[in-house]
Structure 1
Amino acid sequence: MNRLNMNFPQYKYDIVIQNSFSNISSEIASVWSGDKIIIITDDIVEKLYLDQLSVELHNICPAIYSYAIPNGEDSKCFLVLNQIYDFLLSRHVERTDLIIALGGGVIGDIAGYAAATYLRGISFIQIPTTLLAQIDSSVGGKVAINFHGYKNMIGAFYQPLLVYINTDVLKTLPVREYKCGLAEAMVHSIIADSSLLECICENACNGNDTKDHIQEFIYRNCRIKVDVVLQDEKDKGIRKILNFGHTVGHAIEGLYGYQFKHGECVSIGVVAAFKLSVHFKLINVEKLIYIKTILSDLGLPIKIEGIDWLNVVKRIQFDKKSKSEKVEFILPVDIGEVISYEVDINSTLAEILAD
């Protein structure tokens, strides 16, 4: 077992990395006591892990209810959020009760946002079941839904009581989803830890992910995110470096109706950021070629044929980091180091990205 501590000035919680659910009831009991637990999950994870988790939770709470939403990014919307609210009302959920998000990034985001807003905030716990959610979206307290095709446009900062990572659930994770998690690991390595990139090349690229390695791998990624978030919980300063690859990635996701996975769009966004760095002479082209090679070796896309870059740029205008006719990109100056760089939003930007 590995454990990380999120110690904010006014509250703290742990990120527990384990290879089973065997001690989850004691972990939850140490931070929460109440009458009801509501598990929000999706219709795929429900079949795989809901029963297993419920058995463990009955050790500390007899009243356990679950609500499953359709799997996929399309569910991260007001319609489904309202359905969750209806379910919470139907079960007479009170402020002392607990919401558990059991699933990937979509579940963590929408269940977390429901918890943040229902009764002005009730306790919740993250149990991420995808590699991407385990190393990224479950850590840091960002919760949100999409709005009119724009990613995470409606949201809040709302920290959980606990993040419980069971690495054993990754055995049922589809290969495509696993690769999406590696895209976020690439982000962490490029912004903060070049040695993590070496680890990705030595292990993930060669299929050497043993159980012991994956726990350490998740720990190293979470450590990076924890260190950044503890310095800047509300995304006003250094936390912006975590947006590396996401400015373009989110625009592509929304523009193409979420037909591409988040990690796949982040991969394209990473390449786009390196293209911009090369254009502005912040980094040499050899680093761009190097990163493209690694992404390809991981089975991640480095381009999408026929992409409409002009419309991607138009989408970027609505990015949360845009300011008037400029957008704040996080761009690499070396492997393990990035800077904030303001770029004009115009047709020239589309030409650079399309090159």
Structure 2
Amino acid sequence: MKKLDLRAGYDVYIDNSFNVCLLLDKRKKYLYVIDEMVDALYSRYISGEKVIVGPGEKAKDMSTILRIYDACIEKELDRGDFIIAVGGGSTGDAAGFAASTFKRGIGFINIPTTLLAMIDSSIGGKTAIDYKGIKNQVGTFYDPFIVYMDTEFLKTLPTSEIKSSMGEVIKYAVLSRSLYEWLDNNLNDVLSMDYEVIKDMIEKCIKIKVDIVNQDKTDRGIRTHLNLGHTIGHALETHYDISHGTAVAAGIYYESLVSYRLGILQSKKLHCIIELIDRCGLKAQYHLDKELVSLMSHDKKNVGGKIGLILPEDIGRVRKVLMDEKDLYEILKVPAI
């Protein structure tokens, strides 16, 4: 078990042998919130009371939160006890939200089981649930006590799940020139499921995120850069019911295209980004209509009725741009490259 040197304000461990029990205080009470598919595969490793939640966005519903509250009351958890999330990003979001609000905050431990959750949602202290069909409309900032990542979980994921998670890795690569260069040299090993290389990639992505979050904990400044690809990506995810990572990759494609058409991003750098998405085998182009663009009006980066986009200026540099919905649609309706 390796403890990462991150200065995140909480401990982050990376492992490959299901040793999380070594980190738990036997004097405390624990409630597991676990994804139903993870429970089916790993229930023999998890002893204790569980709340089993649906896969994906089904976990991020108020009815799930109420079930967790009920279990907390039944188990008589107090503020010194813990909710433990075991699952992907949605499971972590729901469990973290419940932990942050039950008795105004009890302990929270996050055990992400997907590559997407390991490199992104488990780090940074954001929790959220969906409301009225809109992603992440209700949430809190609440750090876990521990994040425990075990790469053994990744070995039971389908290759398609690993591939779709690369959307978030591409985001970090556009934000960091050094990661872009590393990924350019190591992508074939990642896609061929070399777990030592994947573990190295996870650490690199986490360090980029922690460095940004430490500068802007509450998402008012530089942390918004982590939403590269997410304004358009979230709309695509909702409209086409595609995976988050796939949607982010497509969002990066379109936001890079917008940046190029606004004269911000050079053609050469646009094609570098497109090539990276293509090498990951991720679909980038979708039909964008007015209905889809209107979904972006609910995005939390919006200001004064204008849609907030994080646009790349270069590999390793981005900026926030506000656009009218009509102007954005006019740019996006032009046939893609």
With the shorter chain as reference, the TM-score category is: over 0.9
Paired with 2:214 and 2:305, the residues of 1 have a C-alpha distance of: 31
Determine helix, strand or coil for the equivalent of 2:127. strand
| 2:248 matches 1:249 | no
Check if 1:149 corresponds to 2:145. Answer: no
Question: C-alpha distance in 2, partners of 1:113/1:34?
Answer: 24
Q: Report the AA paired with residue 200 of structure 1.
A: L
Is 1:43 paired with 2:40?
Answer: no
| Residues 126 and 164 in structure 1, CA contact (< 8 A), matched pair in contact too | yes
Contact in 2 for aligned 1:4/1:223 (Cα 8 Å): no
Aligned to 1:4: 4
Is 1:204 the counterpart of 2:178? The answer is: no
* Distance apart, 1:40 and its partner CA: 0.4
Correspondence list, 1:1-355, <5 A: 1-5=1-5, 7=7, 12-22=9-19, 24-29=20-25, 34-54=27-47, 64-191=48-175, 193-205=176-188, 207-256=191-240, 259-304=241-286, 307-346=287-326, 348-355=327-334
Alpha-carbon distance in structure 2 between the residues aligned to 1:34 and 1:145: 31
For residue 160 of structure 1, what is the amino acid of its counterpart? P
TM-score (norm 1): 0.89
Q: Which TM-score applies when normalising by structure 2? A: 0.93
Confirm or deny: 8 A CA contact 2:6 2:207 kept in the other structure: no
Between 309-318 and 138-147, the greater mean CA deviation after superposition: 309-318
Separation in 1, partners of 2:310, 2:7: 26
> What percent of counterpart residues are identical?
38
Q: Which amino acid aligns with 2:180?
A: L
Consecutive aligned runs of 4 or more in structure 1 exceeding 4 Å deviation: none
Aligned-residue offset at 1:201: 3.1
- Structure 2 distance, partners of 1:312, 1:218, is 32
Q: Is the 8 A contact 2:299 2:308 kept in 1?
A: no
**C-alpha spacing 1:43/1:349, structure 2 compared with 1 (3 Å):** same
Instruction: Please say if residues 127 and 142 of structure 2, whose CA atoms lie closer than 8 Å, have aligned partners that are also in contact.
Output: yes
Question: What is the CA distance between 1:288 and its match in structure 2?
Answer: 2.2
**RMSD, aligned α-carbons:** 1.7
Most deviating of 307-316 and 275-284: 307-316
- The answer to whether the Cα contact below 8 Å between 1:34 and 1:97 also exists between their aligned partners in 2 is no
Contact 2:288–2:332 at 8 Å: present in 1 too?
Answer: no
Change (3 A) 1:110 1:146: same
Give 1:318's aligned amino acid: H
CA shift in 2, pair 1:338/1:2, >3 Å: farther
Number of aligned residues? 333
| Counterparts of 1:354 and 1:172, CA distance in 2 | 40
Structure 1 residue 252: deviation in Å?
A: 2.0
Q: Secondary structure at the match of 2:10?
A: strand
